[in-house]
Structure 1
């Protein structure tokens, strides 16, 4: 068991620690709070719960007599006080194991039931120190690393004058990135991006792992560079106020909370059309291949053959075994990649500009009170590459998270082409062929990603997008250039 030792000068520091822990703990964590009366256990628990609820007025009664108080929050939390526990067996009656299976358990006076608590628990031991207190947090390395990361973020904020800011969970995504709202009284809300350097995966080919082959960002440097490029060209991306590039922590502008979907999760046509118009003008800009960040230069990679094929391999490696219960045969793999080599050869003459890679509803902010390009806020572009511009258009016109009806799709495609034709030097026939090719490539990747997120990452809710993704793939395969891929999918039992 490893440990973290902290000195808490006053009650405010204890509250701050509770908020920091609320951003570090996850479902399945048990935090045992030990110490004398008045040492700060209840203060920390109360701060933790209010931060989880994002409600500073949340009533947090002591569970001394009820033994447990439950809270239905973004992660369910059960607050146990075992001071009056008569027998360890009572924990079963209180539903401890069930509470821990899908939530977080805070346990005061854990000494009364140590034998029944999980060995993997975290323990925060409080001791008085003058007018303040010390606390030692012990536990397994993986859990402690999450806490250390949260404390490092607090240190980052403190060094930059935001030490006493309120931190509130905002969101996570399909990657390991997480976001927080940073609140300072009387000031605009800021967003903190927590994006630690990527841990290398297994070597797949040519001495590289998946992220390298697919040109996925491994730190925050690409985000900072692309952000600068987009803003320089007159488009709306968040201003970056503070950064620690080595640690992977950025404090950035809050572009707003309005998206391009309505309250029922359906596309708002006006907002999608404006997004497409912005995309057309961005694609018409000259490419900035190398972006200087002082002593660092970010070189935007190409969406090359290796990247396209490693992404499409997700269909073989994850979707097909899940669908059929058996891996693709060597013959199927050889045939599949031969088809993709032919399709990639077709794109030698394609228009290639900056592609944002995930230009769709989760990454577009609607700023209706603004004008011009400022109406569309662009986020989550750290994986940008230089490649066929049709890829981004496929992303927005076949939004992976929401159904785009054919009529709206066709209107968006027509608007994009009209804007590009007006800006000059645009081959619409070639673009429309590339739209089908890039749609097929993207959707072959996505069907594998949904399964991978479920099986490897424990995120099964993405599987709800599978039917939509296949409907989009079927549209892509209607183009004559995609006949070889359509035939392969039929033979493999995918269609």
Structure 2
């Protein structure tokens, strides 16, 4: 499909010409859960680049540009920035091709261990770096994200819950973790099989969707990778990858597992809320079908003793029938 003129960003021809891509064809690609749009830009001779359209006021490409340049300068494989006009929300990027980790594994599942090992090794390299120039993953940010569960999921279910108790439970659970994320590592926050590109060799991980990077705990991106909302990761593979990370990073396993469960529960509660918000606010009901997978992971995390205060809140506030049906189905 070739986009019609009104589908393209305003004055795109001017931007492409200034970047040295005059006369290139522009092909729309599937978008994500944000207001951003993506296009593949193709010159004669099949030279390609990616175009990000992140239009203000809903989007701001500035954080993406800062994170991409920091990652690139520190040896991580973020796409090179070819040109940008941040005020108009336009960024021309290196094209990482089509070998997305998720799609590769759908076709060659026997390579799962090797592919996930390489993805964990990329995190080890990232965590060996000094933390990037990003804000800290603070308690207030953890709480803001966790409240997406009560603000959106519980509201959609007409559940009248103890919001103050919810915040207090997370304060108790995460307060013990905060000292262990100082000085911290760069946390990409959405590191999973649909945001990792395979660049010709298993050990080369092309990174995408890192504009929300913060400085936080090393377990967070391990949760993103191994408790994937969009893909089933076998529990035995998850356990092997955690063991691999613990050995490579030289951290205490029991402490890491407790923090992994803490951040897993926080992230999965947040994602349930986000998926409901995408349906109710943004008109994207397709994310509702992913809730049962995320809810099952949430329940597993809540079973860890480190989550006792939050688990008690769920016991008191979320009906058993909903929990047994993994969040239940919505009529979208």
Tell me if the contact between 1:281 and 1:420 (Cα under 8 Å) persists in the aligned partners.
no
Match of 1:132 in 2: none
Match of 1:377 in 2: 206
Determine the C-alpha separation between the residues in 1 that align with 2:309 and 2:68. Answer: 39
Match of 1:318 in 2: 152
Once the two structures are TM-superposed, the CA of residue 173 in structure 1 deviates from its matched residue by 0.3
Return the match for 2:249 from 393, 403, 420.
420
Match of 2:18 in 1: 159
Q: Match of 2:106, SS? A: coil
Match of 2:186 in 1: 354
Tell me if the contact between 2:196 and 2:206 (Cα under 8 Å) persists in the aligned partners.
yes
Once the two structures are TM-superposed, the CA of residue 344 in structure 1 deviates from its matched residue by 2.2
Return the match for 1:268 from 106, 109, 112.
112
Match of 2:40 in 1: 181
Q: Match of 1:263, SS? A: helix
Once the two structures are TM-superposed, the CA of residue 22 in structure 1 deviates from its matched residue by 5.8
TM-score by length of 1: 0.61
- Cα deviations across residues 144-184 of structure 1 (Å, max 9, x unaligned)? xxxxx623223211232323110000121000111000010
Structure 1 residue ranges without an equivalent (≥5): 1-17, 25-148, 200-217, 290-299
Query: CA-atom RMSD, angstroms?
Result: 2.0
Q: Match of 1:230, SS? A: helix
Once the two structures are TM-superposed, the CA of residue 365 in structure 1 deviates from its matched residue by 0.3
Once the two structures are TM-superposed, the CA of residue 187 in structure 1 deviates from its matched residue by 4.6
Once the two structures are TM-superposed, the CA of residue 283 in structure 1 deviates from its matched residue by 1.0
> Which structure dedicates a bigger proportion of its chain to strand?
1
Q: Work out whether 1:225 is the aligned partner of 2:66.
A: yes
Once the two structures are TM-superposed, the CA of residue 231 in structure 1 deviates from its matched residue by 1.5
Return the match for 2:4 from 6, 21, 25.
21
Change (3 A) 1:258 1:274: same
Match of 1:479 in 2: 304
Change (3 A) 1:321 1:196: same
Once the two structures are TM-superposed, the CA of residue 285 in structure 1 deviates from its matched residue by 1.1
Q: Match of 1:407, SS? A: helix
Q: Please identify the structure whose Cα radius of gyration is greater.
A: 1
Q: Match of 1:151, SS? A: coil
Once the two structures are TM-superposed, the CA of residue 333 in structure 1 deviates from its matched residue by 0.6
Change (3 A) 1:342 1:378: same
Change (3 A) 1:371 1:449: closer
Q: Work out whether 1:197 is the aligned partner of 2:56.
A: yes
- Cα deviations across residues 40-83 of structure 1 (Å, max 9, x unaligned)? xxxxxxxxxxxxxxxxxxxxxxxxxxxxxxxxxxxxxxxxxxxx
Match of 1:395 in 2: 224
Tell me if the contact between 2:115 and 2:202 (Cα under 8 Å) persists in the aligned partners.
no
Once the two structures are TM-superposed, the CA of residue 468 in structure 1 deviates from its matched residue by 0.4
Match of 2:30 in 1: 171
- Cα deviations across residues 417-468 of structure 1 (Å, max 9, x unaligned)? 11112xxxx3433222110111011001011111111111111111111110
TM-score by length of 2: 0.89
Determine the C-alpha separation between the residues in 2 that align with 1:397 and 1:316. Answer: 24
Once the two structures are TM-superposed, the CA of residue 328 in structure 1 deviates from its matched residue by 2.6
Tell me if the contact between 1:260 and 1:268 (Cα under 8 Å) persists in the aligned partners.
no
Match of 2:276 in 1: 451
Structure 2 residue ranges without an equivalent (≥5): 324-332
